[in-house]
Amino acid sequence: MTSLTSRQFYWSIRRELWENRYLFLAPLAVAAAILAGYLINAFTSRVSMLVVGSVGIGSPYAMAGGLLICTGCMIGAYYCVDALYGERRDRAILFWKSLPVSDRLTVLSKASIPLIVLPAIVFVIMIATHLALLALEAASGGFARLHVLLLVKVWIAVLYGLAAIALWHAPIFGWLLLVSAWARRSVLLWVLLPPIAIGILERIVFNTAHFAQFLQYRCLGWFTEAFNQRGPCCVPDPLKILTPARFFASPGLWFGLAAAVIFLAGAARLRRSR
C-alpha cells in the first residue's frame, strides 16, 4: 500500500469503529458480566477465591476466554450481515462514495473488522479480564507465580486460536459481506436460505448429508485442525496441543481463503454497481 492508501485504509477502519461501537462495547459488557458473576458467586456461596488459581476447563479463566471468543464470533457475523446493506438502507453510501476511497478498499476495511480488529479487541479484553481475576486471587491470598506463568502460555495459545478462527472463518465472513452487498432487504434470510435449501434438497434427492457435514467442518474445523485432539483436556503446558503445521497445511484453509477472496471481490463489484 502507498502512504495515501494506507491512510485511507486506517481512517476507514476508524470510521467503522466510530459507527459500530458495539464492536468493543459488547465484549466489554460480557467481561464485566463475567467479573460480576464471579464476585456474586464467590460472596453468596462463601467459597474461597483460591479456586481462581486453576486454569483448566471450568475455571473462571477458561470460561472468560470461551465466552469472549464466542461473543467475538457472533459480533463479527452480525457486523458483516449489516456492513454493506446498512449503507444502502440509510443512504449513507451516497456520502461515502463521494469520497476518494475505492470500493475495493472500503470492502477490505470492512472485512478486516472481523478478521483482524475484532480478534485483537477480544484478546486485549480477555487479558484485562484475566488480570482482574488475578487481582481478586491476590486479594484473597491465593496468588501463585505458577499461575501467572501458565496464564502467559494460555494467552499465547488463545492468540493462536483467534488467528486460526479468523483465517478459517474468512469465507463465512466473505459470504456474509457478499450477501450484504447484494440483498435489497431481509439480508439474514438470504444468508441462511441457500444453505438450508441445498441441505434439504440433498437429503430429499440423494438421502445424504454431505453439505451439512461440510458446513459443520467449515464452522468448527479450525479446532480440529489447529489443536491436537488426542491430548488431555487439562494439560500442564497449553502450548503442547498447538498444531500450526497441520493447520497451515490443511487444504480446507487455503480453499476457504480462495473462496473468501472471490466473495470479497464480488462484494466490491456489487457495491460499485449499486
Tens digit of pLDDT per residue, the chain (274 long)? 567 678 888 888 888 898 889 999 999 999 999 888 877 776 665 444 444 445 454 467 878 888 999 999 999 999 999 888 887 776 666 655 666 668 888 899 999 999 999 999 999 999 999 888 888 777 766 555 556 778 888 899 999 999 999 999 999 999 999 999 998 888 888 999 989 999 999 999 988 889 999 999 999 999 999 988 664 445 567 788 889 999 999 999 999 999 999 999 999 998 877 6
| Domain carrying residue 239 | 3-273
CB of 125 closer than 8 Å to CB of 27? yes
Other CB atoms within a 10 A radius of the CB of residue 130 amount to 23
Query: CA-CA distance, 234 to 154, in Å (whole number)?
Result: 11
Q: How far is CA 263 from the centre of its chain?
A: 18
**pLDDT for residue 52:** 44
Which residues fall within 8 angstroms of residue 85, CB to CB, at 6 or more apart? 180, 181, 183, 187
**pLDDT for residue 93:** 63
Query: CA-CA distance, 154 to 78, in Å (whole number)?
Result: 28
Look at the chain and report how many structural domains it folds into.
1
The cell for 216 is 459443520
Kindly report the pTM of this predicted structure.
0.85
